[in-house]
A and B are shown apart, each in its own frame.
Chain A
Amino acid sequence: MPAVVDRAGAPRRAAAQGRASGPPDLRLRLPADAAAYAALTLIALGGLAVLALWWKDTIGVVGAAGWLTGAGRITGLLAGYIAPLLLLLMARVPVLEHRIGSDRLARWHAHAGRYLVCLLTAHILTIIWGYSYTAQKSVTGETVYVVFHYPEMIKGSLAALLMFATAFFSARAARRRLSYETWYYLHLATYLAVALGFSHQIVNGADLDAGGERLLWSAYYVGAFLILGWYRLLVPWRNDRRHQLRVAEVRAEGPGVVSVILTGRNLDELRAEPGQFFRLQFQARGLRWTANPYSLSAAPHPQYLRFTVKELGGHSAAVAQLRPGTKVRAEGPYGAFTAGRVRSRKVLLIAGGVGITPIRALFETLPAGRGDLTLLYRASRPQDVIFHQELEAIAAARGARVRYLVGPRSEVGDPLTARTLARLVPHLNRHDVFICGPEPMAAAAVAALRACGVKRTRIHHESFAL
């Protein structure tokens, strides 16, 4: 039913957003990264507050035991502060997802997770060593004593073991051997670890035994779990009931590339924007247990959403077999790869391979005047170019330019060099640039753009490489 695609490709919403309606509104706006810097500042201030707590409660650091126990307390407090932060970063809070971007949140989560494991190690070693000094016991004896006799320390030790196990399985070497699903569900153990670790902090934490501090700390933990439950369980469940998404059509776009068109009710309430993605969970055999990210490949429509994916593994192959009517659980929309990042009059879009998916939606809808919008589309084989007719139609309607950079690297060389880009796109440094494609291509493009004098803040690139 081609009519579906046509309608999905020419939505009312996009028209309302200013499709082909002249130059963008460039009123004074905050820098695109303002939200990210604000969030980082807030996180840092929280860390300082935690250190201040220790400072306030400590009158002196005396002897080896004092130094060790002090270090153990500081690292313990910081670890206790970061643990709920890890949950919050992954809680899919809409404002964070839209303003900061899911890719950046995931990267922060990974960095903070590694940092947490280091802090935890330091905390355990210094506390036990310090305590063993004070009690004049052997380190082994003190370890046994702390684990089995201190209150809530069995839970605390279990929490640490779960954290270390997750760290082990997340390490790159181990992760390559695990399927994404296995890794994902193992990772959920960290939620349990954060919960288990809470009670030993409250009971044994020298800085958390007073009323006010204890209350704040508890509120922080409970709040983190509430936010997590709200956005990851309740909201998806509610959206499920409200929108009742189903597969309307699956169609092949090119070799191994399929578009999935979903239909549902009140989809305009989702307020999805071109360039964003959803995590879709198809209620079909082999797909039920994973929520994979799917980018919108057309501007959203009140009744239809079109996604396009490339078959990369067994999962995506099963998507091609989906039957119309299959129920879909959707989380989203997510992502900050949207028109909201544009700060210049001119926009350049660079797509590599199936990275055309969100770029196609942006090409259709980004506010830009005639002649201000350019698309560079890199593919290694002519048959890998998808949406050819759609792109031509959009380009003609909007007065935009499309350039196809097709051919294997061995024949055409690397087309994304500073020299080529400068030749293809005049006034390159006056553009906002959106890049989506395989990681090496995107990295090469970013380097070339930087060499051409494009500011870092003008380069928009979603990277899910951790």
Chain B
Amino acid sequence: MRRAIVAGTATVSGVVLLLGLKPHGGGVAQAAGNFSIGSGTDPSSSSSSSASAPPTASTQAKPGSGSSSGSGSATKVVTGDAADTRYGPVQLQVTFQGKKIAKISVLQYPTESFRDQEINDYALPLLNQEAMTAQNSRIDVVSGATYTSDGYTQSLQSAIDKAGS
């Protein structure tokens, strides 16, 4: 009996310790570095025009041409780099209106396993919502979807960088 209590206590505290030692919260995405940006995976989406290597997106107006006159703020669509995660690449297409993020569509995300699909069905809408609210890539990691969150912020940041340049 004593042995059982010792084993049980040791296991529970061991598991809690292991989990506790891992980073929690929003810092995760920046802390991790085990993916590479720009691995050029073909997004294979409908917007084939933006799939090519040059970072400049299908623009309708020149970016930053100074004149955001009235309602006529320029709309441009930028495809972010595909960020490789452990479970597959995440790649975003961001529609900017001027400097404002107007729309984010996810071109590709991990779907290889059943678990990926279940996670991302839930996590991606949340991440989209967070990004739209924040208007930048400093967003919280979605609980249970650490890797996807990670790839998402990377791809989003690269899209923002491209739009700004």
Contacts and interface: CB of A to CB of B under 8 A. Distances in A.
Interface of A: 51, 54-55, 57-67, 69-71, 74-75, 78, 111, 114-115, 118-119, 130-131, 133-136, 145, 149-151, 203-204, 206, 209
B25 interface: yes
A196 B117 CA distance: 24
A193 B18 CA distance: 28
A66 B114 contact: no
Interface residues of B, number: 36
Interface string B7-24: 110010001101110111
Given A70-B19, A134-B119, A149 B114 contact: yes
Given A59-B31, A63-B144, A203-B113, A114 B4 contact: yes
Nearest to B34: A59
Interface stretch (B48-56, B68-76, B130-138, B145-153): B145-153
B22 A60 contact: yes
Nearest to B35: A59
Contacts of B15: 71, 74-75
Nearest to B26: A62
B60 to A, nearest CB: 38
Contact of B146 (A60, A75, A150): A60
Q: Which 5 A-B pairs have the closest CB atoms?
A: A63-B143, A134-B144, A60-B28, A65-B144, A59-B32
- Chain A, interface SS category: helix
Contacts of B25: 60, 62
11 contacts: A60-B24, A61-B20, A62-B146, A63-B24, A65-B144, A74-B19, A78-B11, A114-B4, A131-B118, A131-B144, A206-B115
A172 to B, nearest CB: 12
Interface of B: 3-4, 7-8, 11, 15-16, 18-20, 22-25, 28, 31-32, 34, 86, 113-115, 118-119, 121-123, 141-147, 149-150
B146 A66 contact: yes
Given A59-B31, A59-B150, A134 B23 contact: no
A119 B11 CA distance: 9
B115 A118 contact: no
A433 B7 CA distance: 31
A133 B144 CA distance: 8
- Chain B, interface SS category: helix
B122 A64 contact: no
Contacts of B32: 59-60
Contact of A70 (B22, B23, B123): B22
Contact of B23 (A60, A65, A115, A209): A60
Contacts of A206: 115
Nearest to A58: B22
B144 A74 contact: no
B159 to A, nearest CB: 22
Contacts of B23: 59-61
Contacts of A61: 19-20, 22-24, 146
Contacts of B118: 131, 134-135, 145
A290 to B, nearest CB: 30
A60 B114 contact: no
B78 to A, nearest CB: 27
Contacts of A209: 113
Given A59-B28, A61-B23, A135-B121, 11 more contacts: A59-B150, A60-B22, A60-B31, A62-B143, A62-B144, A66-B144, A74-B15, A74-B18, A133-B143, A149-B114, A151-B113
A131 B149 CA distance: 17
A58 B7 CA distance: 25
A150 to B, nearest CB: 5
Nearest to A59: B32
A209 B87 CA distance: 9
Contacts of B114: 149-151, 204
B25 to A, nearest CB: 6
Contacts of B34: 59
B163 to A, nearest CB: 27
A136 B118 CA distance: 10
Contacts of A133: 143-144
Contact of A66 (B4, B16, B121, B143): B143
Contacts of B3: 111
